[in-house]
Amino acid sequence: MDAVEVLLVEDNTGDLIVIRRALYECPVPVNLHIARDGEQALLMLTNPYFKPDLIILDLNISKITSTALLHRWRVEAAPVVVFSSTTNPTEKERCLALGAREFVSKPMDLDEFNETVCRIVGKWAVPDGAAVGS
């Protein structure tokens, strides 16, 4: 199986490290691209040569908010999954209305966190749902 291209938009260094490790442990090979804020993400996404298979977007990012990013850059080619520590139902509804495919709360348990990240990749980035693992 070819590696899937994942853009992670995350400004929290701790979360970035944990997500990177979880992706490394996934049964699906991943090429990880990182944007540290909404402005950097928008620049990457407007590059015609960059075609991610999946965008994992933290809700609380700097420079351009995640909801503004969803509003400004309509996603048809790559699914966007908002991965956030918030459980606010209003934020969830807003993100889904703006085109996010799923809103996932970040688990507190490390094993569950890793499983959740791998599930997101398997569900949204693997062609024909051919995911393996968790």
Distance from C-alpha of 31 to C-alpha of 111, rounded to nearest angstrom = 22
Q: For the segment 78-121, what is each residue's pLDDT rounded down to a tens digit?
A: 899 999 888 888 989 998 998 889 999 999 999 999 999 999 99
pLDDT over threshold 90, residue 16: yes
Q: Which residues of 83-92 are buried (b: 16+ CB within 10 A; e: fewer)?
A: bbebeeeebb
pLDDT at 74: 63
Q: For the segment 46-66, what is each residue's pLDDT rounded down to a tens digit?
A: 888 989 999 999 988 888 778
